[in-house]
Amino acid sequence: MDGTRSAPRRAATVKDVARAAGVSIASVSRVINGTGPVAQATRQRVTDAIARLRYVPHGGAASLVKRRHGVVGLLLPALPAEPFAELVRGIEETARRQGRLLLVARIPDDDGESLRTVAGLKGHVDGLLCMAPHLDTGALARLLPEDLPTVLMGTHATADQGACVIDNRGAVLELMGHLKHTGCRVVAHIAGPAGNHDAGEREHAWREALARYWPGVEAPLFRGDFEEASGYAAGCAIARLETRPDAVFAANDLMAAGAMRALLEAGLSVPGDVAIAGFDDIPLASLLRPALTSVHVDVAELGRRALARLLEVIEQPELSRERIEPVRPTLVVRASTGAAGAPTDSRV
């Protein structure tokens, strides 16, 4: 009936175990870590004592002397959540397989606070994984501590320390090629927020594809913020256009979904009147009606790869790294761009 956990008793330490087992703390440590030789009888006495006292080693103390925390930090942007859950999963999974824990921190908007946050990480993590498409290289350099191994994820390919990148450009070109192939003639773009690195790359690649596949054709650009509402707004604007584009490429799926909603509500058919494609291939994409053509980014894989790289850097900081292979996203064609065989009967 006492309800609350009994917690007053100070937790046992190596000393307690040593005393209980009648050995020195060194032997206890040796038993726990399997370092150095220990007589069978001693080992037994120690393990018994550990069990009896419910001893759990204090990781923090160990990391102080080992200069290794068994923890990696993950820095994420403060803003949208969608593809990050997968990222965290991929990273946490491989981290645990390597016996490491994961410390997650979002980079606050406030510059000073983010600095403090990152500084607080020192002495808690062995290295840093950082995904910050909303920061430019300068801000990034200012933010990251110099004595902490760091791997950048996402893009920022220009940054030195072999970042793990996504091939935005290649993916967009492929997607635009697909639209060209299905006969689209004017492909509008709903871009992500200004200053966002991924958004910038996708927009740039859209322009490049425009010039390559539809030379001389003008296509409208709408600026969004990666949220559904901004896609909806763009969709409404598109529906009202006198010369309406017959395809829309949105810089992420959420905005594509918003645009689709707007167009359908305006009485247009997708992809009959307007084809729509997104980016990221979040779970939502396949569940929309019509299902959304998108670019699948295996963020979990990206995370795994970045973490593997980080561990390399941690283990052997002196090695010079060769360029890392970019993660190649794959185009997933669905009904929203009139995939053959997929149901296109989504007229409202």
Partner DNA sequence: CGCGACACTGTAAGCGTTTACACTAGCCCC
Partner DNA sequence: GGGGCTAGTGTAAACGCTTACAGTGTCGCG
Write out the binding residues for DNA, residues 23-52 only, by CB under 7 A: 23-30, 32-33, 35-42
d(CA 189, CA 249): 5
- Report the partner that residue 264 touches, choosing among DNA, its own copies, none (CB closer than 5 to 8 A by kind): its own copies
181 DSSP assignment: H
d(CA 259, CA 109): 28
**Is residue 299 within 8 Å of 83, Cβ to Cβ?**
yes
- Report the partner that residue 161 touches, choosing among its own copies, DNA, none (CB closer than 5 to 8 A by kind): its own copies
Q: Does residue 57 bind DNA (CB under 7 A)?
A: yes
- Report the partner that residue 316 touches, choosing among its own copies, DNA, none (CB closer than 5 to 8 A by kind): none
Instruction: List the one residue from 62, 105, 266, 324 that touches DNA (CB under 7 A).
Output: 62
Convert residues 115-134 into a mask of x (bound to DNA by CB under 7 A) and - (unbound). Answer: --------x-----------
- Report the partner that residue 232 touches, choosing among its own copies, DNA, none (CB closer than 5 to 8 A by kind): none
Q: Does residue 67 bind DNA (CB under 7 A)?
A: yes
Of 56 and 340, which has the nearer Cβ to DNA? 56
d(CA 173, CA 191): 15
Of 55 and 206, which has the nearer Cβ to its own copies? 55
To the nearest whole angstrom, how small is the minimum distance from the Cβ of residue 295 to its own copies?
Answer: 19
- Report the partner that residue 288 touches, choosing among its own copies, DNA, none (CB closer than 5 to 8 A by kind): its own copies
**Is residue 238 within 8 Å of 248, Cβ to Cβ?**
yes
Instruction: List C-alpha distances in Å: 174 to 215, 237, 285, 330.
Output: 17, 26, 18, 9
Could you tell me which of 252, 241, 320, 303 has the C-alpha nearest to residue 282? 252
Interface stretch with DNA, choices 19-27, 93-101, 109-117, 163-171 (CB under 7 A): 19-27
Convert residues 77-116 into a mask of x (bound to DNA by CB under 7 A) and - (unbound). Answer: ----------------------------------------
- Report the partner that residue 23 touches, choosing among its own copies, DNA, none (CB closer than 5 to 8 A by kind): DNA
Of 65 and 340, which has the nearer Cβ to DNA? 65
C-beta neighbour count of 207 within 10 angstroms: 14
- Report the partner that residue 317 touches, choosing among DNA, its own copies, none (CB closer than 5 to 8 A by kind): its own copies
Q: Does residue 69 bind DNA (CB under 7 A)?
A: no
Instruction: List the one residue from 5, 49, 54, 65 that touches DNA (CB under 7 A).
Output: 65
Burial per residue of 64-94, b for 16 or more beta-carbon CB atoms within 10 angstroms, e otherwise: eeeeebebbbbbbbebeebbbebbbebbbeb
d(CA 282, CA 251): 13
The Cα angle at residue 317 between residues 315 and 320, in degrees rounded to 5: 120
Interface stretch with DNA, choices 21-29, 77-85, 167-175, 206-214 (CB under 7 A): 21-29
CA of residue 348 relative to chain centroid, distance: 36
**Residue tagged 């209980």 (tokens):** 20
Q: Does residue 76 bind DNA (CB under 7 A)?
A: no
- Report the partner that residue 185 touches, choosing among its own copies, DNA, none (CB closer than 5 to 8 A by kind): none
Q: Where are the alpha helices (DSSP H) in 182-251?
A: 197-213, 228-240
d(CA 258, CA 162): 36
For DNA, the binding residues (CB under 7 A) are 10, 13-15, 22-30, 32-33, 35-42, 55, 57-58, 61-62, 64-67, 123
